[in-house]
Structure 1
Amino acid sequence: MKIARVRLKENSMETYGLVSEDGQKIITKEQIHEETGIPVPPRIKEFLFGGWLEEVKKVGKDLEFKLPLSKVELLAPLPNPPKIICLAFNYYDHARDAGLTPSEEPVIFLKPRTALNSPLGDVISPSYVKRLDYEAELAVVMGSRVKKIAEEDSLNAVFGYMIFHDVSARDIQFRDKQFTRGKSIDTFAPCGPWITTKDEIPDPQNLRITTKVNGETRQNSSSSKMVIPIRKIISSLSNLITMEPGDIISTGTPAGVAMSMKEPRYLKHDDVVEISIEGLGTIQNRILFD
């Protein structure tokens, strides 16, 4: 199933719901309650991790998707994730282009939830940033609280997957010689367009990942090129950090980012970045400098 958090355009009411298989329509929680009588909770996090989705799945085939997605504004699927953990240089081709040897353990940094942005939201960069870069990433949404979980069991703790755009101010990053500040600016984490449950993604290590800037393909790779696979990422992190329902783990970006080009082509005002991941949909963000 695909679960989205949205705002209705007709009255600006924020809600959530299930997206149809073709990604064209949605049934909101209010409509789910009306059709099924299931008293779904008011907040998406309770719905996702409190067992309510399983209740709705029992009648899923009978749900009628009436509301076109054009009638809603898609929001970041999780407004208040406990943690946003991002991996650096977790693709062989990206590490190679940067002249680095990939680590056998996750190299991580954290993004604040205030960086979250909607899947179609504008990225607002400070005007003093001169080297703004894009990074298409496959994000894992955790579904269980786990600590020191074995690698062979770790995917059982996953709730689902979504697209994550790790926008990066390279000039700040290179000046600081670490990642956090240059990647934590408000709006620098568009994600979505919804959360796709893991049962719809049988092999997250074989998904096509593409990025286009103004229609030109910049990244064209696959999650199969990850250095550390998702199952090991979760297991390794859980040995140090308690993973909680709603945690987002963004698993790194493949080759093709601007900073690795012989003549870097960083993002400019009014550029449009479109990221697609097989089975997860597409997000699109316009770049604006304040």
Structure 2
Amino acid sequence: MKILTFKKTKDSKDEVGILDSGAKKIISLNSLGIKVPSMQELIYKWDKKTEDTLLKAIYQKEGEFLIDEVIKLSPIPHPAQEIICLGINYLEHAKESAKFKKIAFSGKREEAVYFGKRVNSATPDGGNIPLHTQITQKLDYEAELGVIISKDAWNVKKENAFDYVFGYTIINDISARDVQIKHNQWYFGKSLEGCTPMGPWIATKDEFPTPPILEISSYVNGQLRQKSSTGLLIFDIPYVIEELSSGMVLKAGSILSMGTPSGVGMGFEPPRFLKNGDVVECHIEGIGCLKNTIKE
């Protein structure tokens, strides 16, 4: 099922809903007697009874609100913790990254690279991404698979990793390349306000094979930039959950962003960084499309 966060009007409270079987209308969880103020709370309280209630409603109840007539929010508008991101987790992106930085690349990755992305407020599908010209001239896009953790994960083995996955979403890991290089680390350049588009919803894990091998792509102004598959991840979901949970608790509702394939702006010659008015679309098979406009 696809679960989203929305508002009926600008001044109304956030609500959580599911798409009905026609995928054009939203069924509010409030109408089903499931009183949760946020997606985070739904994940905390998720159980078999809740899942069965929602699955039944999808096929027996027509949605109350047309999806185009509500205000869509990011599925988790205000993450409780920083998003844990994977750096250079596709081989071809590792090559283009090294080329841009003018450093040697051995052709293999021995260890995963993790970094935190600070997100005060995630930008929803249809929202604007600030250009931040006061501090960057090299804003870039990165289409990524987002993994939502379903329950507290501690010392999880690879073979049990998907027991701790709630579902998947799309993340555009907007990055200020010049800020990254200036500070010789990624945290600041990845954490500018408004630079974490996420959505348009969470697709629960039951909609996908295990592991989810999905086409992933991005477009800028309708031009294809990235095209790959999550089957090409260097460090996959079970590896990441096992490694991270061996030393830290991944709390329910935690978000993992699994890295981006090649084709980002810095990989072109000359580089193709984002400009005012650019429209960026990130697609992942089975989830949908996350579309945003760059706005100064």
TM-score, scaled to structure 2: 0.90
CA deviation after TM superposition for structure 1 residue 147, in Å? 1.1
Query: Alignment partner of 1:46: what SS?
Result: helix
Give the corresponding residue for 1:31.
31
Give the corresponding residue for 2:112.
106
- Gap runs ≥5 in structure 1: 34-38
The whole-number CA distance in structure 2 between the counterparts of 1:4 and 1:160 is: 12
Judge conservation of contact 1:3–1:196 (CA < 8 Å) in 2. Answer: yes
Give the corresponding residue for 1:225.
232
Give the corresponding residue for 1:278.
285
Aligned residues: 284
Match of 1:183 among 177, 181, 190: 190
Judge conservation of contact 1:32–1:63 (CA < 8 Å) in 2. Answer: no
The whole-number CA distance in structure 1 between the counterparts of 2:121 and 2:36 is: 26
The whole-number CA distance in structure 2 between the counterparts of 1:271 and 1:204 is: 33
User: Where do residues 1-290 of structure 1 align in structure 2 (5 Å cutoff)?
Assistant: 1-9=1-9, 12-33=12-33, 39-51=34-46, 53-57=50-54, 59-60=56-57, 61-78=59-76, 79-99=78-98, 100=105, 101-114=107-120, 116-128=122-134, 129-289=136-296
Query: Alignment partner of 2:239: what SS?
Result: helix
CA deviation after TM superposition for structure 1 residue 59, in Å? 3.1
Structure-2 change in CA distance of 1:210 and 1:256 (3 Å) = same
The alignment's C-alpha RMSD in Å is 1.7
- Gap runs ≥5 in structure 2: 99-104
CA deviation vs aligned residue, 1:132-151 (integer Å, no higher than 9, x gap): 10000001000011111111
The whole-number CA distance in structure 2 between the counterparts of 1:21 and 1:89 is: 37
CA deviation after TM superposition for structure 1 residue 40, in Å? 2.7
Give the partner amino acid of 2:150.
Answer: G
CA deviation vs aligned residue, 1:203-236 (integer Å, no higher than 9, x gap): 4441011101000000011111110111111111
Identity of aligned residues (%): 35
Give the corresponding residue for 1:36.
none
CA deviation after TM superposition for structure 1 residue 55, in Å? 4.8
